[in-house]
Amino acid sequence: MPDTIPPQMPKNRRSTDSIWLDENPDVAQMLKDIRGTQLDMIATLKAQSRAFVPNEFSEPDYDGHRKDHVKLATSEKLIESYKESATKRIINIALAFVFGLMAVGFFEYIKKGLGN
């Protein structure tokens, strides 16, 4: 962008008027830059739109994509709760087994100790 403000276009001229643009090359370059930026933005938007599955109107299904993410997050939470529950059960079974072995060993110790 130039440091100076470009001259204002006369009211009776259009921005595409080649004579006026020929007289003001800075403005012409700014318009070309703006158009290039617009084309880049349009290309980016089209590329992003292709990432979404089309809906029944052949448009990108943004809302369906969002709902799918919500559903995935919910299922992940459910799977995590199942994992947590299974882990707790395994730990409880392991602790019960260890305490059972300790109880058997303690009773054997008492039998041997009282038998002497």
In degrees and rounded to multiples of 5, residue 10 shows phi and psi of: -60, 150
Provide the residue range defining the domain that includes 15.
Answer: 1-51
- The whole-number average pLDDT for the span 75-86 is 95
The per-residue pLDDT of the chain, averaged, comes to 82
Q: What is the average per-residue pLDDT within 97-106?
A: 94
Query: Both 72 and 47 in a single domain?
Result: no
Number of domains in the chain: 2
* Domain presence at residue 56: no
- Asked whether the predicted pLDDT for residue 100 surpasses 80, the reply is yes
Question: Do residues 115 and 88 share a domain?
Answer: yes
Whether 67 is covered by a domain: the verdict is yes
∠ CA 112-113-115, rounded to 5°: 65
Q: Contact 27/6 with Cβ under 8 angstroms?
A: yes
Position 42 confidence tier, pLDDT thresholds 50, 70, 90:
very high
Q: Are 6 and 26 in contact (CB under 8 A)?
A: yes
Find out whether 95 and 88 touch, Cβ atoms under 8 Å.
Answer: no
Q: How confident is the model at residue 83 (pLDDT cuts 50, 70, 90)?
A: very high
The pTM of the whole model exceeds 0.75: no
From 43, 48, 69, select the one nearest 60 (Cα to Cα). 48
